[in-house]
Amino acid sequence: MQILVIEDNEANRYLVTFLLEKHGYAVAAADGAAGIALAVEIRPALILLDIQLPGMDGYEVARLLRQQSELVRTPIVAITSYAMAGDRERILAAGCDGYIEKPIDPDTFVRDVARHLDVSRTGGRGAP
Ligand code: MN
């Protein structure tokens, strides 16, 4: 199962990739908006999306990901250090299914990702 990580910070990209690969996931990574074309190409099972990206921010990347017909049902999980009230709504409004807070907690991160994969497989988003 392949997961796409869109994250500009090399240390975070490394940590996330390390944790996911250790648990048997295949990981592809991009450092910004180039992740949109890559997502269309590889059709990942889930996309992890950093919100603080250079140039186009994660909200805009999420909106563009959602506009791709190939990715309409792909779970998008934001990774954000923003803890202000209202951000959750903004993240969901941009098309994300949820978020994981930075700093990444190695003890819970993979479980959180797996939970979002389970929700999508059992038809969580808008299913009857
Ligand atoms: Mn970033």
For residue 71, what is the DSSP state? G
Measured in Å, residue 29 CA sits from the centre of ligand 1 at 13
Around ion ligand 1, residues with a beta carbon closer than 5 Å are 8-9, 50, 52
Is pLDDT at 128 greater than 50 in this prediction?
Answer: no
Q: Give the model's confidence band at 92: pLDDT under 50 very low, under 70 low, under 90 confident, else very high.
A: very high
Residue 60 pLDDT more than 50? Answer: yes
Indicate the pLDDT class of residue 121, thresholds 50, 70 and 90. confident
pLDDT surpasses 70 at 84: no
Q: Could you give the percent of the chain with pLDDT greater than 70?
A: 92
Please enumerate, as own/partner, the contacts of 99-106 that have beta carbons within 8 Å and a separation of 24 or more: 99/51, 100/48, 102/12, 104/12, 104/15, 104/16, 104/19, 104/79, 106/15, 106/19
Q: How far is the CA of 6 from the centre of ligand 1 (A)?
A: 9
